[in-house]
Amino acid sequence: MNLCEGEDEEYDPSGPIMLRIGLAMLQGARYEHAEALRGAAGELGVTIEIVDLRRSDQVSSLDGVVLPGGESTAMKLASRSEMLYHSLWDEMEKNDLPVLATCAGAILLCENDLISASIDRNSYGRQIDSFQAPLRVDMDISEYDSLEVTAHSRDEYGHKPLMVWHEAEPESDDFPGVFIRAPRFSSVDCKAVVFLDEEPVGVLEKNRLALTFHPELTRDHRFHRWLLEKAGGN
């Protein structure tokens, strides 16, 4: 089942190119990421298909991938029978597939040597220690200065995306970071691109962006726009 089923327009082969974005559906804020992808697509004026990734045979012909947060060990165990992550890693290496990985997704990239960085789990503390903070972003991402606040749709199971940071205003230079049992980079041997004060909380290597926070829980879609731009070859 596609998260966008019943909401996207029927694909017209003669129309604009459709980007196929894979969304790992094993755990984490999957529906929030889907909503953020739809928002980013609207801001860029592109057409997307969100592909629910649960099995290894679903990873071919993708233009980009989102690895949501969750609990990284549980995610690895859940994917083992269908070899989803093993196939994803191969696809990333073979085709330099653009990837947006958040929280536990960032842990998986680091642990599988797809990002040149070391990372520690839950390094900011337990659930009660979760926090929000403005972040400095040092990336070339298209600007979007008009924020349209819309009602968030429910999926076929009745789930409605959660929004933690509700700032209904144009994007500022700072990004509204949401940290929930967040991991922490202990060493970085690639490009640091997002900072909490002077500490790197987002790193970039090739077309792989690993973030220790949850951009999908905000109304600022700039990192999802980055993914779609890279998926479209920009």
Number of domains composing the chain: 1
| Band of residue 78 on the pLDDT scale cut at 50, 70, 90 | low
Of the candidates 4, 43, 49, 103, the residue annotated as catalytic is 103
- Does the annotation mark 214 as catalytic? yes
Angle of the 30-44 helix axis to the 222-231 helix axis, nearest 10:
70
Burial (Cβ within 10 Å: 0-12, 13-18, ≥19) of residue 101: buried
Of the candidates 43, 71, 91, 216, the residue annotated as catalytic is 216
Residue 8 covered by a domain: no
- For residue 131, the enclosing domain spans 18-231
Calculate mean pLDDT across residues 63-74.
79
Percent of the chain at pLDDT above 90?
48
- Does the annotation mark 103 as catalytic? yes
CATH number at residue 125: 3.40.50.880
Report which secondary-structure segment, H or E, holds 91.
helix 84-95
How many whole angstroms from its chain centre is CA 51?
A: 14
Residue 10 covered by a domain: no
Average pLDDT, the chain: 81
pLDDT digits (tens, 9 = 90+) for 39-56: 999 999 999 999 999 888
- Does the annotation mark 4 as catalytic? no
For residue 192, pLDDT beyond 60:
yes
71 phi and psi angles, rounded to 5 deg: -120, 115
Residue 12 covered by a domain: no
Residue 50 covered by a domain: yes
Q: 87-93 — which CB contacts under 8 Å span 24+ positions?
A: 87/56, 87/57, 87/59, 88/22, 88/24, 88/53, 88/59, 89/114, 91/59, 91/60, 91/62, 91/65, 92/65, 92/208
Residue 13 covered by a domain: no
Q: Is residue 27 within 8 Å of 79, Cβ to Cβ? A: no
| Band of residue 3 on the pLDDT scale cut at 50, 70, 90 | very low
Buried b (16+ CB within 10 A) or exposed e, 51-62: bbbeebebbeeb
Cβ neighbours around 167 below 10 Å, total: 14
Calculate mean pLDDT across residues 136-152.
68
To the question of pTM greater than 0.85 for the whole model, the response is: no
Of the candidates 33, 35, 49, 214, the residue annotated as catalytic is 214
Residue 46 covered by a domain: yes
Predicted pLDDT at 151: 45
Calculate mean pLDDT across residues 184-210.
97
Residue 93 covered by a domain: yes
Percent of the chain at pLDDT above 70?
71
Residue 229 token pair: 């731009």
Residue 111 covered by a domain: yes
